[in-house]
């Protein structure tokens, strides 16, 4: 069973309203909320309204101190760490057909992103130039860059201002990517 984009959007809005997003997911979602009329903004507003209606007559109850402390201790994330778990992976579309991404982190200060790219069989990433260093590791499948076939575990580094040849896959692929904050991720 596949999840539709609408279902995924509603699931992410529910995670936001429930406060269950990781710090990285929260930062990305709140950036999307800044666009008035965006699907993310509309879904979040609708869910918040429904939640307010449902909870209007419910009195707030503070849990016993020992129970609250135990729960907080179990869910605490060590300071300075962000975790992403594969079973919670949500991939977003890019403007390039057959290519989706999951943002792992965005460093605004250094204009860099770290993400996973999922390429469907036959997907092609057009030739491009990066303003900064790009590094990638193929995690699954194969990627063809020019005449070079990269397999799971293979690494590629493209220096700043280098011409990146078209990249494509005949098998499909999952790629770990660290690169300048590219526009193709904005889809």
Is 108 exposed, middle or buried, given 0-12, 13-18 or 19+ CB atoms closer than 10 A? exposed
- Residues 24-47, mean pLDDT to the nearest whole number: 82
Whether pLDDT at 56 is above 60:
yes
- How is residue 131 written in tokens? 């303003």
CA distance 184 to 165: 16
Residue pLDDT, tens place only, 92-140: 888 899 999 888 888 888 888 899 999 999 999 988 888 889 999 999 9
DSSP assignment of 115-147 equals EEEEE-TT-EEPPEE-SS-EEEEEEEEEEEETT
Whether pLDDT at 15 is above 60:
yes
Q: Please, which pLDDT band fits residue 187 given cuts at 50, 70 and 90?
A: very low
Whether pLDDT at 183 is above 70:
no
| CA-CA-CA-CA torsion sign (126, 99, 131, 146) | negative
> Between the CA of residue 27 and those of 90, 104, 115, what are the distances in Å?
15, 11, 14
Residue pLDDT, tens place only, 69-95: 777 776 777 777 777 777 667 888 888
């Amino acid at each position: 069973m596949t999840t539709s984009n609408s279902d995924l959007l509603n699931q992410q809005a529910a995670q936001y309203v429930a406060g269950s997003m990781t710090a990285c997911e929260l930062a990305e979602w709140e950036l999307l909320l800044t666009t008035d009329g965006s699907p993310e903004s509309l879904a979040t507003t609708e869910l918040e309204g429904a939640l307010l209606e449902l909870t209007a007559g419910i009195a707030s109850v503070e849990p016993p101190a020992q129970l609250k402390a135990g729960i907080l201790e179990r869910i605490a994330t060590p300071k300075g760490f962000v975790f992403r778990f594969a079973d919670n992976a949500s991939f977003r579309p890019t403007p390039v057909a057959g290519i989706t991404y999951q943002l792992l982190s965005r460093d605004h200060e250094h204009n860099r992103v770290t993400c996973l790219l999922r390429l469907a069989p036959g997907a092609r990433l057009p030739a491009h130039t990066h303003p900064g260093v790009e590094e990638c590791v193929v995690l699954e499948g194969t990627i063809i860059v020019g005449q070079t076939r990269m397999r799971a575990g293979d690494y590629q580094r493209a220096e700043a201002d280098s011409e990146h040849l078209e990249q494509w896959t005949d098998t499909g692929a999952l790629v770990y990517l660290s690169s300048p904050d590219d526009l193709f991720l904005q889809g």
